[in-house]
Amino acid sequence: MTALARQLARLIQTKPVTDADLEAAALLTLDAVANAVAGVNSDAGRKLLAAQDAGAPFGRAFLIGALTHIHETDDLHRASVVHPGCVVVPAAWALAERRGVSGRDALKAIIWGFEATCRVGASVGPAHYKIWHNTATCGPFGGAGAGAALLGLDETQFAWALGNAGTQASGLWEFMASSAMSKHLHAGRAAEAGQLAAELAAQGFTGPETILEGSKGFYAGLCRDPRPEAVTADPEGAWAVHETSIKPWPCCRHTHPAIDAALELAGKITGRGIEGVRVETYQAALDVCDRPQPQTEYQAKFSLQHCVAAALSEGRVDFASFDEAARARQANLAPMVRLNVVEPYASAYPVHWGSAVEVSLRDGTRFKASRTDAKGDPEAPLTRGDMIAKAQMLMRLGGLADPHVLIEAILAMPQADAPLPSLMLGRVR
């Protein structure tokens, strides 16, 4: 039987790319680049740049990838639970810069990369996500997919690249216990590993084609309940770039359905005493975001209780919603938020990430709002204008005073012979 890596390579290489696909990829590229620019203006970002200045041995793909994943505002593909933009766009961008290819060719590579990482991510099974960070473990396949397009790899070389991407897979959730910065390392290393795997394959450096399903492969080592059939499922369906969600709020995507519902209720309960709050959601949301009393800004971004409390009491969730002062403001309400795994959200996950929020007031009144999907999902997408406004905000946060030039250049990438825009990631003073 043909190895899964070769089947995946063949599926991607024979799938047509349309102008609409390129336009979708350009918007996702804009989101990723804007996140990378914003990442410069952060504690972790400044440490990354300082390490680079000190001669740390990492390359362009690593730096862009790590910066992109810092502010928790980068994209998310639900079925795979992967943030594809922070691994695929950096790998494609770094290689495209070096080779001097057009923006259009870079977008095709990004489409291939999204497809590879999301298909592998959809196959790892829910148990994998309890210990392993899917973006880190499945991300190298995306970097390899992008590299395969830019380097013109044939089917065999593409399969080798996927094999060597998979053998570099790593990235554990343990960083959450202490709010360590490892999550950013995950994105950077995944992007760099995928790029390296593709460049080695171009030189004839072989990789195991059975990296996924082999007796000592990815599934055997990292996945208790894999779904290998997901790697090649629905080959005629839409590219993954059309199924990727964009974050409107700077926190874990698992909090977003509940934030969306809570914001609907905020205006109805202003000035009225809250007796209790019930959140209905799916198990993975509790696994990652059950923190009634977050102690750090990063933990607050991964706290359903804090995020729902902020949305209900302040009617907004933004970059100012997670610092020490914000946590103090929600210290009484957040512990009142009770989390429950409830249908239909439990079984709909991961295809749909939904939630409901019910608020009980002291006068006996109850209000409830529900979301099958969250704002920013393909079923409730941000508009093009929303995407541009988000990119402007992020780029200004990163110190880019006039972001429209870079934004317009990225949005022009689908045009024939459009150049790859210049991306400078300097230090914010």
3-state SS, residue 360: strand
Q: Is the pLDDT of residue 271 over 70?
A: no
Question: 357, 369 in Cβ contact below 8 A?
Answer: yes
Q: Is the pLDDT of residue 20 over 90?
A: yes
CA dihedral 90, 91, 93, 99 (to 10 degrees): 160
Tokens of 53: 């200045």
Supply the pLDDT for residue 413: 98
Q: Model confidence over 185-216: pLDDT tens digits?
A: 999 999 999 999 999 999 999 999 999 999 99
Q: How far is 68 from 330, CA to CA, in rounded Å? A: 28
Q: How far is 322 from 3, CA to CA, in rounded Å? A: 46
Q: Which of 385, 378, 285 is nearest to 337 (CA)?
A: 285
Report which of residues 370 and 272 the model is more confident about: 370
Q: How far is 198 from 157, CA to CA, in rounded Å? A: 8
Supply the pLDDT for residue 426: 64
Q: Is the pLDDT of residue 427 over 60?
A: no
Could you tell me how far CA 20 lies from the centroid of its own chain? 22
Supply the pLDDT for residue 269: 87
Tokens of 178: 């202490």
Q: Model confidence over 324-351: pLDDT tens digits?
A: 999 999 999 999 999 999 999 999 999 9
* pLDDT bucket at 104, cuts 50 / 70 / 90: very high
The domains located in the chain, with CATH, are 4-248+381-411 (1.10.4100.10), 253-371 (3.30.1330.120)
**Average pLDDT of the residues in 308-321:** 97
Q: How far is 426 from 429, CA to CA, in rounded Å? A: 9
Q: Model confidence over 151-178: pLDDT tens digits?
A: 999 999 999 999 999 999 999 999 999 9
Sequence-distant (≥ 6) Cβ neighbours of residue 326 within 8 angstroms: 300, 310, 320
Could you tell me how far CA 182 lies from the centroid of its own chain? 15
Could you tell me how far CA 137 lies from the centroid of its own chain? 13
3-state SS, residue 416: coil
Tokens of 106: 């870079």
Amino acid at 238: A
Sequence-distant (≥ 6) Cβ neighbours of residue 235 within 8 angstroms: 11, 15
Q: Model confidence over 206-264: pLDDT tens digits?
A: 999 999 999 999 999 999 999 999 999 999 999 999 999 999 999 999 999 999 999 99
Q: How far is 138 from 36, CA to CA, in rounded Å? A: 20
Q: Model confidence over 129-139: pLDDT tens digits?
A: 999 999 999 99
Question: What pTM was computed for the model?
Answer: 0.96
- What rounded mean pLDDT belongs to the chain? 96
**Average pLDDT of the residues in 297-309:** 97
